[in-house]
Amino acid sequence: MELEWPQSAVRSLLLLQKEVQQALGNAFGEASASEDGLQAAILVLLALVFGMLHAIGPGHGKSVMVAYFLGQDAPLRQGLTASLKLIAVHVGSAILLVLTAVTLLDVSFGLRPADFPLLRQISYGGVAALGLFLLVQALRGAPGGRHAKGGGLLPYVVGLSPCPLTTIMMLAAVGTGAIALGLVVSLAMALGMVVTVGAFALLAILARCWLFGVFERHQARILKIGRGFEVFGALAVTALGLLLLAGELA
């Protein structure tokens, strides 16, 4: 009984995403077959909204970003830039895969970029490796600057897993010959994803600041608390990477 509400919320979100995705697909087909600029503008707006909704669902590195920023003393600007880098690689890798595959492979062989799990495995393994690196640094009590350098690679590694939605959209764009429109739509979706993923990263940073504010009167314990958060964040990043890699290999 207690699980009915969250399960219902997830189902409603998935249903909403499906409806918006269908609307986006229909709008793309109409816009690609028409020279009406208004239809293209509506399509881009739908892509922006769907990007935000789509990123609320599983994936997109939100959990990894939250785990990382809970463990790091980072400014809000870093949360935004990390989210932007993550989505740029996430969407860009899908676009690059589609255009490369269509150029170099005969699609009639049944090969599709989404059929290649290697990049996802590299991405998840990289997340686990970086998590272990951050964990070692946290246990050694290294200065925060060293963590920032190690964590600077995290958005790129997480984003290396191509966005399936962008892959589908770009395949449709190539199939209809509307590659430029597909790129614009993919960019709009990416901006929407940045909004959502960035919001999660900012919430993690603000939550950490709030927690440290609560304990501000206990100055003697702040360093121990901060180190504990670093260790927890590193462990969480490592565990998420290993779980994702195990699921992919299975």
pLDDT per residue of the chain (250 residues) written in tens, 0 to 9: 444 555 666 677 667 667 767 777 777 878 887 777 788 888 888 889 888 887 887 666 788 888 888 878 788 888 899 889 888 988 888 888 888 776 665 444 445 444 456 666 767 777 777 777 777 777 776 544 444 455 677 888 777 777 877 887 888 888 778 888 889 998 998 999 999 999 998 998 898 888 777 766 666 666 667 777 777 888 888 888 888 888 878 7
Tally the residues of the chain. Answer: 250
At residue 202, the pLDDT reads 92
Residue 161 inside a domain? The answer is yes
Residue 83 inside a domain? The answer is yes
Q: DSSP code of 114?
A: G
Helix axes 219-249, 179-214, angle to 10 degrees: 150
Helices (H) and strands (E) in the chain, counts: 10, 0
Residue 23 inside a domain? The answer is no
The span from the CA of 240 to the CA of 249, in Å, is 14
CB 55 within 8 A of CB 173: no
At residue 1, the pLDDT reads 45
At residue 188, the pLDDT reads 92
Residue 53 inside a domain? The answer is no
CB 61 within 8 A of CB 159: yes
Q: Which domain holds residue 109?
A: 60-249
Residue 41 inside a domain? The answer is no
Three-state SS string over 8-59 comes to: HHHHHHHHHHHHHHHHHHHHHHHHHCCCCHHHHHHHHHHHHHHHHHHHHCCC
The span from the CA of 51 to the CA of 143, in Å, is 37
The span from the CA of 159 to the CA of 95, in Å, is 13
Specify the number of domains making up the chain: 1
At residue 191, the pLDDT reads 92
Residue 211 inside a domain? The answer is yes
Residue 35 inside a domain? The answer is no
At residue 147, the pLDDT reads 45
**Could you tell me the CA-to-CA distances from 92 to 95, 159, 165 in Å, in that order?**
5, 9, 12
Residue 143 inside a domain? The answer is yes
**Could you tell me the CA-to-CA distances from 214 to 86, 151, 223 in Å, in that order?**
31, 26, 14
